[in-house]
Structure 1
């Protein structure tokens, strides 16, 4: 059973990590998020749940403005072949998420470590990184170092790469 928003926040709190969360109407696209978020500062993320032909799964978290070339990204992230979007069933199974709420914080549900996490290094040029807290009805702000600590505590060692040329 996937973790709830409350369980995610308790896990983060138990690590001594301070975050702030803003509730808002559901958003499904970057454009919708930009229109609703108001004055939430920091890097805002776009997340791609990808798979290669050998059924290796990847969660690529980039700045919302980043352009990701799906024809070549496999060469950067260590995929066995070109990548495509992972099916919603696998997204739910591995990260406990549904399309529209994909987030790096979803790795709390990936207890078997089926998903390789890739973070765009440009996110680390900001004081805060913003992500959905398992729901697209809120945005949670977390410091970059605290995000790395969260990922480590979930058993994930992210690959930090420069995604855009």
Structure 2
């Protein structure tokens, strides 16, 4: 079943001239669950983490699936309090998605700008990158070169972090 805002997402991508392709699949809740299906889809596959700090700041992390996200170091780089996974009610209220469907594309639903968007620098390496279209029963690909254009069109100016460098420090 499509997400209620899926047509708005695809409309925005089309209006921005962002080429996209969507493949349906069984529900995928974790990176590990999606490995077999995603082997047949060329490009970078992603993981997306919805986080909240002790002061209530909300953060959406979008990274390549195999990226190590060191939360114990990330809060210092982002100048936040210590980060942990955000509550389901805030995820729904701010990004309009349920657990397992967190995605870059969900910032389209953050009309009040409550969520800080953080992108992994490695997302820009593969030619194509895959994200859920706000539901975990499909994956949509866009060019890595179009990620920032989507973010700007959705009203979010991301912070870009090299998570590989962060995990080495």
- 1:133 is the counterpart of 2:133: yes
1:71 is matched with 72
1:56 is matched with 57
Structure 1 consecutive aligned stretches of length 4 or more whose deviation exceeds 2 Å: none
2:156 is matched with 156
- 1:113 is the counterpart of 2:123: no
Aligned-residue CA RMSD (Å)? 1.3
Query: Which ranges of structure 2 fall in alignment gaps of 5 or more residues?
Result: none
Query: Which ranges of structure 1 fall in alignment gaps of 5 or more residues?
Result: none
Contact 1:77–1:118 at 8 Å: present in 2 too? Answer: no
TM-score by length of 1: 0.94
For the residue of structure 2 that corresponds to 1:21, the secondary structure is strand
2:31 is matched with 30
Contact 2:28–2:137 at 8 Å: present in 1 too? Answer: yes
Measure, in 1, the Cα distance between the counterparts of 2:19 and 2:159.
Answer: 23
- 1:21 is the counterpart of 2:14: no
For these two proteins, the number of residue pairs brought into alignment is 163
Measure, in 2, the Cα distance between the counterparts of 1:10 and 1:157.
Answer: 20
Contact 1:43–1:128 at 8 Å: present in 2 too? Answer: yes
Contact 2:38–2:45 at 8 Å: present in 1 too? Answer: no
Query: Higher helix fraction: Structure 1 or Structure 2?
Result: 2
> How far off its partner does 1:3 sit?
4.6
Contact 2:50–2:61 at 8 Å: present in 1 too? Answer: yes
